[in-house]
Amino acid sequence: MLTQALFRALDKKAIWVIGIFLAVAILVPMANLLIPPGQFGHVPTYLVSLLGKYLSYAILALALDLVWGYCGILSLGHSAFFALGGYAMGMYLMRQIGSRGVYGNPTLPDFMVFLNWKELPWYWLGFDNFWFAMAMVVVVPGLLAFIFGFFAFRSRVTGVYLSIITQAMTFALLLAFFRNDMGFGGNNGLTDFKDILGAPVQAQSTRVILFAATAIALALSVLVCSMIVNSKLGKVMVAVRDAESRTRFIGYRVEYVKLFAFTVSAIMAGIAGALYVPQVGIINPGEFEPGNSIEVVIWTAVGGRGTLIGPIIGAIVVNLGKSWFTSALPEFWLFALGALFIFVTLFLPKGIVGLWKQVFGAGRQTAEPTPPTPARSADIERGEDPSTFDNPQPRPAE
């Protein structure tokens, strides 16, 4: 059955996306390691890390797309899952510093020595083991999402309300991680990493391997998402997105469908965070900022939600823009980002992918397996009752 699902997933265009990122995972490292610096085609190491950062963002955007684009849950708390995964990785990296810290304490990270702590708090135990830390990267965000989602979906918190309480969740975590006595480094977060699996984090070869790992993780994420959205469950997810009540009345347990999507998505976000941290070299509570979550939403929206390639394109394009703007015209970046938010919501509700289809692929529209966006558009008559806005009555088939 799994092979069947795999086959069905790979049957689609997803195979192209997966293929591209697997190729990237091989070609970029080769361009960095084999082509000597200065020659055409050489990719400098800093660029490898930068691209790796973008790819981890792409995984995060894909994770959000799974819940928002396919299941209609606008989570404004995905940066929390991302940051939790990142902290789990950061804790492993902190433990690897060992006695090379400023204070030279073999077990305690520097900030704990600084705060005059005597022993490692219990929740830091085990993080010196890579595989335990990797398990936590998956378990912590997944468990949080499961518990949070279980209660939220069971009590039918939907739409804007859900968005706001996810935002409250990440805000609460932001405040919590800022506290020094939480034991996660407070304001400064975790940084100054030395080794990952015995290899120095700063080394060229490590960076290249981390990049390749990120690209492969992205390819796997696309594969998993493709398997999910092409399965029967995926169809139900889309049904929940487009007409939640109707799906419920037909007899599906809507809350379990949502819970599944939410948890899987949180796990993917956690993995993205874990890949992000060693490449940028720091994790601090700023990653929990509610604003970050909203930015992820805009990556997804720019690329085109409800598609697998859209959020990846969106994350990379927007972040390329951000890198360019913040170095060339720093004071204009927020103008550009704000304008992007407005422009995309007003004129590009289906994102870049939607635009592409409109321009080039009008004839192939029928071949599309899933309608890329919910059947809501500006021409829907001006609303129902406000509370039914998020679940408008499905329009009669066109």
Partner 1 sequence: MLTPLLRLALLTMSLLVPTLAQAQTTDITARIAAMGEANLKELTQIVTDLASTGDPSVVPVLTALGDGNLYLDETSGRVVIQNGSTITDPLTGEAVDLGADTDLSRIRVNNGLRRDISAALGGMTLMSDNPRTRLSAAQGFLANPDPATLPLLDEAIAAETDANVLGVMQTARATTILSSEDASIEEKQAAVPQIVSGAGRSAITVLTSALASAPDEVKPTIQSAIAGLEQSRAVWAALQNVWFGVSLGSVLLLAAIGLAITFGVMGVINMAHGEMVMLGAYTTFLVQLVIRQSFPGLLDYSLLIALPVAFLVTGAIGVGIERGIIRWLYGRPLETLLATWGLSLILQQTVRSIFGPTNQMVIAPTWMSGSTDFFGLAITYNRFWIVIFALIVFFMLLLILNRTPLGLQMRAVTQNRRMASAMGIRTPFVDAMTFGLGSGIAGLAGVALTQIDNISPNLGQNYIIDSFMVVVFGGVGNLWGTFVGALTLGVANKFLEPYAGAVLGKILILVLIILFIQRHPRGLFALKGRAIEQ
Q: How far is the CB of 248 from partner 1 (least distance, A)?
A: 9
Contact 76, 294 (CB under 8 A): yes
Cα–Cα distances (Å) from 276 to 22, 56, 144, 287, 296, in that order, read 18, 6, 20, 11, 14
Strands (E), 103-148: none
Q: Which residues bind partner 1 (CB under 8 A)?
A: 74, 148, 151-152, 154-161, 163-165, 167-169, 171-172, 175-176, 178-179, 245, 290, 294, 297-298, 301, 331, 334-335, 337-342, 344-346, 349, 376, 378, 380-392
| Separation between Cα atoms, residue 103 and residue 105, nearest integer Å | 6
Strands (E), 55-203: 190-191, 195-196, 199-200
CB within 8 Å of 168: residues ≥ 6 apart: none
| Separation between Cα atoms, residue 241 and residue 135, nearest integer Å | 31
Closer to partner 1 by Cβ: residue 34 or 342: 342
CB within 8 Å of 244: residues ≥ 6 apart: 72, 158, 254, 391
Contact 344, 302 (CB under 8 A): yes
Q: How far is the CB of 290 from partner 1 (least distance, A)?
A: 7
Q: How far is the CB of 287 from partner 1 (least distance, A)?
A: 17
Q: How far is the CB of 227 from partner 1 (least distance, A)?
A: 26
CB within 8 Å of 145: residues ≥ 6 apart: 81, 262, 263, 265, 266, 267
Cα–Cα distances (Å) from 96 to 62, 90, 230, in that order, read 31, 10, 41
Closer to partner 1 by Cβ: residue 26 or 168: 168
Q: How far is the CB of 34 from partner 1 (least distance, A)?
A: 42
Q: How far is the CB of 373 from partner 1 (least distance, A)?
A: 10
Q: How far is the CB of 321 from partner 1 (least distance, A)?
A: 14
- Angle among Cα 60, 217, 354 to the nearest 5 degrees reads 50
Closer to partner 1 by Cβ: residue 18 or 162: 162
| Identity at 199, one-letter amino acid code | A
Closer to partner 1 by Cβ: residue 205 or 387: 387
Closer to partner 1 by Cβ: residue 270 or 285: 285
Closer to partner 1 by Cβ: residue 184 or 211: 184
Q: How far is the CB of 329 from partner 1 (least distance, A)?
A: 12
Closer to partner 1 by Cβ: residue 111 or 148: 148
Q: How far is the CB of 274 from partner 1 (least distance, A)?
A: 24
Q: Are strands 190-191 and 282-283 parallel, antiparallel or unpaired?
A: antiparallel
Q: How far is the CB of 381 from partner 1 (least distance, A)?
A: 8
| Separation between Cα atoms, residue 135 and residue 152, nearest integer Å | 25
Q: Which residues pair with 283 in a beta bridge?
A: 190
Q: Are strands 190-191 and 195-196 parallel, antiparallel or unpaired?
A: unpaired
| Separation between Cα atoms, residue 269 and residue 56, nearest integer Å | 9
Closer to partner 1 by Cβ: residue 158 or 221: 158
Q: What interhelical angle do 45-68 and 14-33 show, nearest 10?
A: 160
CB within 8 Å of 315: residues ≥ 6 apart: 54, 57, 58, 60, 61, 296, 299, 300, 303
Closer to partner 1 by Cβ: residue 163 or 221: 163
Closer to partner 1 by Cβ: residue 17 or 63: 63
